[in-house]
Structure 1
C-alpha cells in the first residue's frame, strides 16, 4: 500500500499542530536504530564469531584435576563473654581461599618432592612453581557456612596444560593444607603454655612486692585497722562519738526548754498554784525527777501521761510525712497523686492530734473541778497553795540551772570536736595512700581472677583437637576443560554486536536525515503533503492508449504512462492539496522548488501539471529554471522559443506557449539558455508574464532552481501564491531542508508543505558547494553539464544569448546587436511591434491553440 499523506494547506504555522509529546520527542528507540543498521550488526557479529573461532584454534588444551576436602573442628563455636572473641568453628570460605594461595601453603607445595619429580617441572625454579600453583589452584566451598559452623566441605581444583602436573599439584596442596593446620595446632598449644607461664610469673612477682610494701606502710602509719582489714582513723572515730554525745545534749536541752516554757506559760495563765502544779506534773517531761512537784500532782497522772505520749507519737509521725510531702511537691507539683495521698495522711494525723488535745483539755478541766470540790478548811487550803507555788518556782529554777550546765557542757564538747577534727585531717594523706594500696591490691586480685577464668575457658584438650582436614574424594585423573568453542563464539560475537551497535549509534547521530513524517513536521513545522515512492520509469501501454504523441513523452511522467501506480496516486495527493489551497486562499500560481539538485522538482512539476490538467483545469507549466531547464525535455518540445524570448520582447506570452499532448495542459519552456539567468528573473517583463498567465489559466505551476544553489527561487516567490518544497531522504537532508525553508520564509513565501520524493532510496553521498559565479558546476548541475549540453544541442542555442527585456530588443546598436543597457519599458506608451520576419510558424501554431 502507498504511504500517502494529504494535508489541506494553509498557514504553515497553523497547518501543523504539534502537541507537547511531539515537541519534546527525543528520537527513535535504540532497537529501531539497530534494525536500520542490521547489515552492520550482521557483519560485525560474523566477524566477531570468526575471530572467536580463530582464538579457539589458537588456545592450547587445558586440563583440570579436582578433589574434595572436609574441614571439621572438635571445638564448637562459642563466644567468650569476657573478651568478646569467637572461639572454635571453621573459617569462612574467603579466608580459606586466601589461605590456599598464601605463602605458607604455596611455599610448602613448591618443596613437595613428588611435584618436583615431574619431568616437565624439573627445570623450573621454586619461584616458577609458586607462580604456577597460584595461577592454577581454585578453592570453592560446597556447603553453606550458616548450616554448620564446625564442618565445611570444599572442592580443590587445579587447571593446567599438563594432566600429570594437575594431579600432583592438587595432592601437594591438600597435603600442605593438612600440615599447615597440624602445625598451627601445635603452635597454639605452645603459645598458650608460654602465655600462662609468663602471666603467672609476672602476677606472682608483682603481688609479692605489693604485699611487702603495704605491710611496711601499715607498720609506720598512725591508723588502726579492724578485723576485716579496713583502716580506722582514731581521731575521726572520737570526733563521731563526741558529735553523738552533743546531739544527745542538744535533745535534752530542747526538752528542758519545752518544759520551762510550759511551766512559765501555765503559771501566767492560771492563778491557782495547785492547778498549775498539776498541769506541769501531767505535761512536763522531767516531773518524775522533781519529788516536791510530784507529790502535789497526786493520782491520775498516768492517764495524762498516756495522753501526752500519744500526742508526742502523733507529732513524731507528722514530721517525716511533712518532709516527704514537701519533697514530692517540689519535684512533681501539688497535683501529683502521691502528694495528695501524703496530704491526706497528714490531715488524718492532725485530726487525731486535735482529739488528743481535746481529751487533755477535758482531763485538765476534770482535775480542776475535783480540786475545787474538795472540802478543805481555809488554813489547809492556804498551806497547800503555798506548797504548790513553792514547788512550781523550785521546778522552774531547777530547769534553768540544768540549761546553764548543758550550755557549758556543749561548749566544751564543741571545742573537743574541733580538736579531734584537726587531728583527723592530718591523717587524710595517710588514708588516701591506704586506699591506693587497697585499689592496687583489688586490681591485682581482679587480674588473677580474669586469668583463672581464661585458663578455665581455654581447654587444652579442645585446642589439641583444632581443625582436622579429611579428603573425601580421590584426586583421580585430570580431565579436559578447554578451550570452549561455544564460550569463545558467544564472547566475541557479543563483542562484535556491541561494537556494531556503537557504530550504528554513531552513524545515526551523524546521518542528519529525516526518519519519519512526524519528524519532518516537527523540524520544519510544515505538513507533509505526500510521499512519492520510487518509480520504475517504464511505460505501461494500457488499453486504448494509441496516441503516439503521448507515448513519446518522458517515461518519468507516471501520471500519464502509469496512472494506477503508487507514484501517480501520490501526485494526485499533491493536486488535492493545491485544490484545497485554491479554495481557501484563491491561489493560482504555485512554485515547486527543492533544497538541492536531484530531488525531483522538475519531474514533480510535470506530473502535477498533467494531473491538474486531467482534472479539467486549464493549466500552464512555466520553466523558470533558466540554468538547467527540464520541462521541454520531459514533453519533447522544441526549445528554440520560450520564456527568454518573451522577456526580450521577441514574442508575446501566447506565442511562446507550447501546447502539450495532454488536454488542458500548456507549457512555457525556458527557450534559449540565457547567459545571465539571475538578471533575467529581475526584469519587469516577468511580472507581465505572470499577470498574463493568471488571466488565461486556472492553475500556473512554476519550476524553479534549487534554493541552496542559487538565489533564483527567492526572487520568484514575489510572483507566486504558494510554494512547495520537494526533497529526497538522504544524508544531510535535515539541515538542507531547514535552510531552504528558512530562505523561503525570509523571502515572504507562504509554504504549503513538503513533498518527500523517492522514499525507498536513501542516499548518503549528497553534499553541496556554492561557486562564486552562482552556477551549479560544483556538484554537476549548471553550465557545462550533460543536460545543458543536451538542451543546447536539441535547441541549437548557445550561451551567448542574453536576456535584456523588450525595450533593449527594439533598440538596435550600431553593430546590429542588442544593447547591454536594459531600459524600463512602458507597455501603455509603446505597444509591442512584430519583427520584420513576423512570428515563426511554430509560434503561430501555438498561438492559435491558446484558449483565451
Structure 2
C-alpha cells in the first residue's frame, strides 16, 4: 500500500481509533485507581574499617580496599533472615522474614563503600521504620556476628549516614505514566486493528481499489442514496442534486469513450445483484437524452426486469415479444419525457433468456436500434450469476460494469472482467456506485455547493412528475 492508502485508512477509521485510544486511557486510569498506593523509604549505610594503632596511610588504603570488597557481601546480608527476624522482633511485625524480604531491596553503587536500602510498603511511616531498623540490625549482625574476632572487637564499622523518613507521596501506581501507556497501547491497538481490517477487507471502496483489478477507465463515481428505491430517477426528480450531477459526469465521460466513431451501444451490468446497475442505466439514459441525443434504453434483464417500474411504463409486452416475432418493435417502444428517450421494457419472462439474448433476432434488433439512435443502453443481469450480459455484450460496443462501494469484492469484479475477456467482449469501463457521501471514499460533489433544495420534496409529487414525463 502507498502512503495515501494508509492516510485513507486512518481517516476512515478515526472514530474507532479514537474510541480505542480513550478506552486504553480509561482502562489504565481505572486499573491505577484499583491499586493500593505503595510508598518507598530509603536509608544509606557507610562501611569502613577501623585503622590500626599506627595510623599509617597504608593502613587506611588497605582498609578502604577491604571495605569495598566486603560491601558486596554485606548487601546480601540485608535480606537475610538474621537481619529481618531482628527487625520483625524490634517493630513487633506480624509477618515472617520470607514475607518481608520481597519488600526490601539493597545495592551498592559501583566502587563505593555505601549500601542503599529501600523498603516498599503501603504504610509510609512503617516503610521508614523498617528501613531504619534494617540499617541498624545489618550493622549489628555484621559487626557482632559475622566479622567479630574471638575475644576481640570487630574492625568493620557500619553506620547510618542517611536515615529513612516517611515519604509524602506514593511511588506507585504512577498514574500519569500508566495513562500515557494506556493511551499509546490504545492508539496502537486502534491503528493496528484498522490496518488489519483494511488488509482483510477485499471489498471495493474507491477508484484505487478498481485500479488494482483492471486498467480499464473509471467512467463515473455515484454516491449512495438511501432513498434510491423510492426515487430511482434522481436526474429527473432532483436535477440539482449532487448525485444527479454525478450521472452527468458519467454521461460526459461516456461521450468521449468512442468520440467520433458514430452510434454507440453498451451493456450496463454488474458482478453480483444489488450494485445499482438498473438505476445507473436509467439515469444515464435520461442524462444522455438531456443533451438532445436519441437514446434507446432496453431492459435486457429477462430474469428480474426493473426498468419498466423505474421509468413508469407498461412492461407486460416488450423485448421478449419482439425477439420471438409476436410484436413489432414500434408497438413496444415507449417514448419517455420531452427528449428523444425511448424505453423497450423486458416484457414477459421467457424460459430461455440466454438463448433469446444471443439469438440472431437480438443481433438484428440491436443493429436496427444502433442505426436509429445515438446511444443504445442495455440493462443486463449480473455477470457472475448468468451468461446473459456476456452474450449481449458481444453484440454491442462493449460492457460497462457497475461496482458498488462496500459491497462488491475485488475477486468478484475480477471474475466479471475475466468473464468478458473469455468470450472476447470489450470492457468499456467501470462505474463505482454507492460511494459514501462523506469521508475519504466519498465522491466529493457536495463541496462544490450544488443545490439540494428538492431533496426533501414530497414523494407523491416526485412520482407524479415521473408518470407525467412517461406519458409525454
Offset of residue 34 of structure 1: 4.0
Q: 2:32 touches 2:175 (CA, 8 Å); kept in 1?
A: yes
Q: Counterpart of 2:104?
A: 137
Structure 2: gaps (5+ residues): 52-56, 439-469
Within the candidate set 85, 109, 124, 2:83 is matched to: 109
Instruction: Indicate the SS of the match to 1:686.
Output: helix
Instruction: Indicate the SS of the match to 1:555.
Output: coil
Structure 1: gaps (5+ residues): 1-24, 81-85, 191-463, 539-552, 763-844
Distance 1:70 1:29 in 2: 63
Offset of residue 168 of structure 1: 3.3
Distance 1:36 1:28 in 2: 12
Q: Name the CA shift for 1:27/1:533 in 2 (closer, same or farther; >3 Å).
A: same
Q: Name the CA shift for 1:718/1:88 in 2 (closer, same or farther; >3 Å).
A: same
Within the candidate set 46, 55, 64, 2:31 is matched to: 55
CA deviations on 1:495-516 (whole Å, 9 max, x unpaired) are: 4444434433332222113354
The aligned runs of 1:536-685 (5 Å cut-off) are 537=227, 555-583=231-259, 585-586=261-262, 588-685=264-361
Within the candidate set 192, 197, 200, 1:507 is matched to: 197
Q: Counterpart of 1:736?
A: 412
CA deviations on 1:120-179 (whole Å, 9 max, x unpaired) are: 42xx3xxx323422x1123466x7x5xxx4565x64321113445423321233234434
Q: Name the CA shift for 1:60/1:67 in 2 (closer, same or farther; >3 Å).
A: same
Within the candidate set 466, 472, 476, 2:161 is matched to: 472
Whose Rg is larger?
Answer: 1
Instruction: Indicate the SS of the match to 2:259.
Output: helix
Distance 1:580 1:136 in 2: 81
Offset of residue 484 of structure 1: 4.1
Offset of residue 639 of structure 1: 1.3
Instruction: Indicate the SS of the match to 1:670.
Output: coil
Q: 1:171 touches 1:475 (CA, 8 Å); kept in 2?
A: yes
Structure 2 residue 11 is matched with structure 1 residue 40: no
Q: Which has the higher helix share?
A: 1
CA deviations on 1:595-643 (whole Å, 9 max, x unpaired) are: 1212111111111111111112111001101111121112100112211
Q: Counterpart of 1:403?
A: none
Q: Name the CA shift for 1:678/1:515 in 2 (closer, same or farther; >3 Å).
A: closer
Offset of residue 734 of structure 1: 1.4
Structure 2 residue 397 is matched with structure 1 residue 721: yes
Distance 1:78 1:611 in 2: 104
The aligned runs of 1:278-677 (5 Å cut-off) are 469-481=158-170, 482-535=172-225, 537=227, 555-583=231-259, 585-586=261-262, 588-677=264-353
The aligned runs of 1:829-848 (5 Å cut-off) are none
Q: Which has the higher strand share?
A: 2
Q: Counterpart of 1:90?
A: 68
Distance 1:177 1:30 in 2: 61
Q: Name the CA shift for 1:515/1:636 in 2 (closer, same or farther; >3 Å).
A: closer
Q: Counterpart of 1:65?
A: 41
Q: Counterpart of 1:289?
A: none
Distance 2:61 2:234 in 1: 94
Within the candidate set 122, 126, 130, 1:161 is matched to: 122
TM-score normalised per structure 1: 0.46
Distance 1:519 1:755 in 2: 12
Q: Name the CA shift for 1:656/1:554 in 2 (closer, same or farther; >3 Å).
A: farther
Offset of residue 698 of structure 1: 1.2
The aligned runs of 1:228-307 (5 Å cut-off) are none
Instruction: Indicate the SS of the match to 1:532.
Output: strand
Distance 1:76 1:590 in 2: 107
RMSD over aligned CA atoms reads 3.7
Distance 1:173 1:487 in 2: 31
Q: 1:594 touches 1:726 (CA, 8 Å); kept in 2?
A: yes
Structure with the bigger RCO (C-alpha within 8 Å, sep 6+) is 2
Offset of residue 703 of structure 1: 0.7
Query: Aligned residues, how many?
Result: 430
Distance 2:25 2:433 in 1: 40
The aligned runs of 1:686-835 (5 Å cut-off) are 686-731=362-407, 733-760=409-436
Q: Name the CA shift for 1:563/1:72 in 2 (closer, same or farther; >3 Å).
A: farther
